[in-house]
Chains A and B, each alone.
Chain A
């Protein structure tokens, strides 16, 4: 397979097209605007639709419409724009529609800054929009993995009929790395016989809806969806581990931060400290089991994030008091250095 050098944002766009996404609705916001610009150039060449909406609110609702028609559809934004999309996202989850939302996270809250951050973890995995819903959240840590995860995101969305978020950060979006694009197959996925594509007077009309006036009826729908979420938690967790055997200290980090954590682990090794890494790839479903299994064998875990400590809460829930869980983070667009993370390892080893 040929390798090409690509910017993260452009690789996401190309991967989506390879995954047969033919509908993209975007709106400019730094640091992800290249996704829109790439789609603007490329979509018309593959017979797809690129549309720049008048706002993020409009874009996510265009996604709602296209997803309802059963096509593969994507939108992308960055933190403040994702906040605007939250209402639409909740409706999409409530209507059981598959779509992919890309969040190239920048520092918040408010306008924040345009530098990389991981401070949208809570928003992504704990709801963000209103109501009892979940969203699969995938956090790659290289451009190649971003490509692979983009393709997976469309498959998971179709498989479970739900929104899937691909969560990167400003660094992954702007960085260039060599990538190759795997061949995409979709024949294993369920048919979209629920889509509203016109009955041609041959079948009963499909209805896409998130409104249920009677509490019992709504409860039933939500509980049925909850069963689906439970299946996902049992079967779709993805993570990567390194050096967990004999490790005294285990770092837990995802995305860009995990790459820096690896450098810190190498520094620890040079200094005779055994450190390992658990890198969640799916942030929801969260890799609870591997964290719980590892906890009894280590001195402590350290969550390393570009936030003031969000994922650390899920690690603590998984560890459940079995070992201490520390936190080290930089926020506001600042990025942790290998040395600073190593200092934390040395402190707790």
Chain B
């Protein structure tokens, strides 16, 4: 059946409202979009790394998760879920469990790009039948906006503060999606909850129902850390994609497809200017930061297009 947003939202919610994520946060939007791709009869075991999503959705004794939920620590969400998946396989083999269970892990960029990279890499390499979803908001937001290796260049965070001499974070973002693609797993995708959510839905469905390990990197803006007005959430996501700062693409069995090519590629300023974390880039004398940012985005975009061709 062709994708239809109206139809897909008729499915019962698997992440209940009433959780304590901020207004204008991209993370719960990502989670709900991903979980909508589950078949209604399938059960899910969901693990979460420490982070905003975890602390805001499972304040003991309350939980927003309709499926089974595990949280263990910051660095080991992928290991925890791969253990659960291995146990499930053993029980299934012995005929002690029935029905279909899907294994899903959510982690923020701190818990995925940085401290959790080792356990993520291990779980993917071993090929557990699980999906790891990184909701990438580009910093440690739960502890109060510290830079991570997903923080874009020049962003102002409390541990990469922009001052008179140093204009924010001095290193480029780590390209985690391509690192995961190089694990040669069946499915890797970069997505964002945008428009009618078709891209994220289709990718979640493929990731969940392709046997083996899958990784999804989902763009999830943070109003506190990025300093934007909360109603602008969806506009900012669209701008990230239309400026090619966050390209939507997927790698299936090694074949890369760019899923969205903006008809008119917008300048990076359009994305940067709506956010307080980049404000210093527009100060006199800092013009070079915007030029550098644009150059980096252009190079990465061209490289992605050439990878698609090859």
Chain A residues at the B interface, C-beta cutoff of 8 Å: 26-30, 33, 36-37, 40-41, 44, 50, 52, 54-56, 80, 84, 110-111
In the bound complex, residues from chain B placing their C-beta under 8 Å from that of A36 are 146, 158-159
- Top 4 closest pairs, chain A to chain B, by CB: A28-B143, A37-B158, A55-B115, A54-B114
Q: Please pick, from A44, A50, A55, A110, the residue contacting B114 in the complex, using a CB distance under 8 A.
A: A55
In the bound complex, residues from chain B placing their C-beta under 8 Å from that of A40 are 158-161
Residue of A nearest to B143 (CB): A28
Asked whether any CB of chain A lies closer than 8 Å to the CB of B199, the reply is no
Asked whether any CB of chain A lies closer than 8 Å to the CB of B147, the reply is yes
Asked whether any CB of chain A lies closer than 8 Å to the CB of B177, the reply is no
Contacting A at CB under 8 A, from B158-196, are 158-161, 163, 165-166
| Contacts A37-B159, A54-B115, A55-B114; A84 near B75 (Cβ below 8 A) | yes
Cβ of A57 to closest chain B Cβ, rounded Å: 8
Categorize the interface residue count of chain B: 20 to 34
Chain B residues at the A interface, C-beta cutoff of 8 Å: 50, 71, 73-75, 110, 114-115, 117, 140, 142-144, 146-147, 149, 158-161, 163, 165-166
Residue of B nearest to A26 (CB): B159
- Assembled-state Cα–Cα distance A26/B142 (Å): 16
In the bound complex, residues from chain A placing their C-beta under 8 Å from that of B117 are 54
- Assembled-state Cα–Cα distance A270/B149 (Å): 58
Residue of B nearest to A33 (CB): B143
Most buried by B among A28, A41, A44: A28
- Assembled-state Cα–Cα distance A27/B140 (Å): 10
List 23 contacting pairs A-B, 8 Å CB cutoff, sorted by A: A26-B159, A28-B110, A28-B140, A28-B143, A28-B144, A28-B146, A28-B159, A30-B143, A30-B144, A33-B143, A33-B144, A37-B161, A40-B159, A40-B161, A44-B163, A52-B146, A52-B159, A54-B115, A54-B117, A55-B114, A80-B73, A84-B75, A110-B73
Most buried by A among B117, B146, B161: B146
- Assembled-state Cα–Cα distance A84/B75 (Å): 10
In the bound complex, residues from chain B placing their C-beta under 8 Å from that of A30 are 142-144
